[in-house]
Chains A and B, each alone.
Chain A
Amino acid sequence: METEILYNNFKSEEYFINMGPQHPATHGVLRLVLTIDGEIIKKVEPDLGYIHRSIEKMCERDSYQQIVHLTDRMDYLSANINNEAVCLAVENALQLEIPERVKVIRTIIAELTRISSHCLWWGVMGMDVGALTTYFYGFRDREMINDIMEETCGARLTMNYNVPGGLMLDIHPNFVKRVKEFVTHFKSKLPEYDRLLTGNVIFQKRTKGVGVLSREDAISFGASGPVGRASGYSCDVRKHHPYSAYDRVTFTEALHTEGDTYARYLVRIQEMWESLSIVEQLIDNIPEGEHRVSTNAVIKLPKGEYYQKVETARGELGVYIISTGTKNPYRLKFRSPGFSNLSLLNHIAVGGKIGDLVATMATLDLVIPDIDR
């Protein structure tokens, strides 16, 4: 009765509000134009392009070796996996036989990259919903992986470790030892993540039943990675289109059916365990051999079209190359996971509150340069 009087006396009306481009929850320069009624979201329209560099146009002028470097600057948290995608596309086009050693090392590095990306996501996710401590935990563990990367290839974020034909350098003599140290360390720390955040009642109330995405909509929106898998959609490229050494390791595809923010959270936590398991299976079995096969200094792909998909920490990255037989691609398209995952934001955020939008966005795990390629 009281609320009825309240609603009758105080009519609300829709209005616009800008979230971003410098809002902390957008994790980069993304502007969301929100149409809201009170605190209820009626519409979310992303405004993109603040950091668009037109990487696809640049690719049309660059050699294939140079293109690998540009991919670091898309989803920088999956830099190694992006590099791998372009290298695999080029290697398949040239029908190069890649040494087993390279395949195994690439897989280990890719899984370490995934863990490091998920660590950052976990830290930021906690921070977005008000638990500042997670940030320090996530960055503490991520630091060990960054150190391993630094020792391996000299860079901590944009590695450029892959080249068409293999790896730029062989692994550092300390690599195996340090990776094992990390695995032991992280196995003891990952349960802390659960104790600190997963079981937290406030956190669960903020995330359960929020931003629900059904399986059908996930497929229709082209959702991939943890976002798709939390809706019960089996979309792991490593399972369905195995590349590198994924055909020789056993791991479970993390699947949940709820499709809400909490399910997306659980999928990523489970993925970190699976990644650890993959690294453990391979680290003692790195085959001896060359770390790279030689390619021509000027790589020319045969006339034709090549498509390579890989599973980055955010989902399915596709590299589509149209070659006319010259040293540059005629057209190169990156199908980035973040782009499709962002497109469903309006669908799952409408009807919720702004606070829920922050939690929802945190589990979409958007990296803006991946969208603004």
Chain B
Amino acid sequence: MTDDALQNLIGGWFDDLEFTTEESQFLNVKVPREHLHALMQQLREHPETEFDYLFCLTGVDWGEELGVVYHLESTTKRHILVVKVTTADRENPELDTVCDIWYTAEFHEREVFDFFGIRFRNHPNLKRLFLTEDWEGYPLRKDYEDDVNMILH
């Protein structure tokens, strides 16, 4: 499917989706976090979209907000879509897990939790992946400080 066709189809499912192709080689869609899981489920199962391959899941600290970027590809249709979701709550950020839709998300979400502190609701095994359990803070956040281990500019 072309980017325009994808946008037309997916845009009809939920009201408040924001599409853009600016500053990116793929079609991007920003989804409010309450619709995240429903949208992902639909993207995976709808026969026209069939996004069966989650090839990248990235946590990002946007400054004010924390967010996750999902790169999706369909192995049958060969189209690509980037889904973005953010949360403004830096103290207690929470998003829905997608590891019931794509198994690979289980490890990727643990990595995001480890480094950004985003909690994924309904994740079967949400604990730190690389760092030790007693590590304080979330190192990939922009405001993270560590006088001992971090080499500054």
Contact = CB atoms under 8 A, between A and B. Distances in A.
Given A49-B131, A307-B26, A240 B78 contact: yes
Given A222-B53, A320-B56, A306 B103 contact: no
Contacts of A240: 78
A76 interface: no
B56 A57 contact: no
B140 A56 contact: yes
A23 interface: no
Interface stretch (A98-106, A172-180, A337-345): A337-345
Interface string B142-153: 000000001111
A335 B55 contact: yes
Nearest to A303: B23
Interface in B87-112: 102-104, 106-108, 111
Contact of B24 (A61, A305, A343, A344): A305
B106 to A, nearest CB: 7
- Chain A, interface size category, equals 35 or more
Contact of B107 (A234, A333, A343): A343
A164 B78 CA distance: 29
A304 B23 CA distance: 4
Is chain A's binding surface mostly helix, strand, loop or mixed?
Answer: mixed
A221 B131 contact: no
Given A49-B129, A340-B104, A343-B107, A219 B23 contact: no
Contacts of B24: 304-305
A304 B56 CA distance: 17
A29 B129 CA distance: 15
Contacts of A48: 129-130
Contacts, number: 85
Given A61-B153, A307-B71, A318-B55, A331 B60 contact: yes
Contact of B139 (A57, A233, A333): A57
Interface in A221-236: 221-222, 233-235
B107 A320 contact: no
A176 B135 CA distance: 52
A222 B51 CA distance: 12
B122 interface: no
A222 B130 contact: no
Residue in B58, B60, B82, B131 with the greatest tally of chain A CB atoms within 10 Å = B58
A219 B52 contact: yes
Interface string B117-141: 0000000000001111000000110
A266 interface: no
Contact of B55 (A57, A92, A234, A309): A309
Residue in A219, A240, A339 with the greatest tally of chain B CB atoms within 10 Å = A219
Contacts of B25: 92, 305-307
B104 A221 contact: yes
Given A56-B140, A307-B56, A217 B75 contact: no
A300 to B, nearest CB: 15
Nearest to B22: A304
Contacts of A302: 23
Contact of B56 (A219, A221, A318, A372): A318
A90 B152 CA distance: 24
Contact of A347 (B23, B58, B102, B103): B103
Contacts of A220: 52, 102-104
B103 A57 contact: no
A335 B56 contact: yes
Nearest to B54: A222
Residue in A234, A240, A331, A344 with the greatest tally of chain B CB atoms within 10 Å = A331
Contacts of A304: 22-24
20 contacts: A48-B129, A49-B132, A52-B131, A56-B140, A61-B153, A220-B102, A220-B103, A222-B53, A222-B54, A222-B102, A233-B75, A304-B22, A306-B25, A318-B56, A331-B60, A331-B61, A333-B58, A343-B103, A343-B107, A347-B103
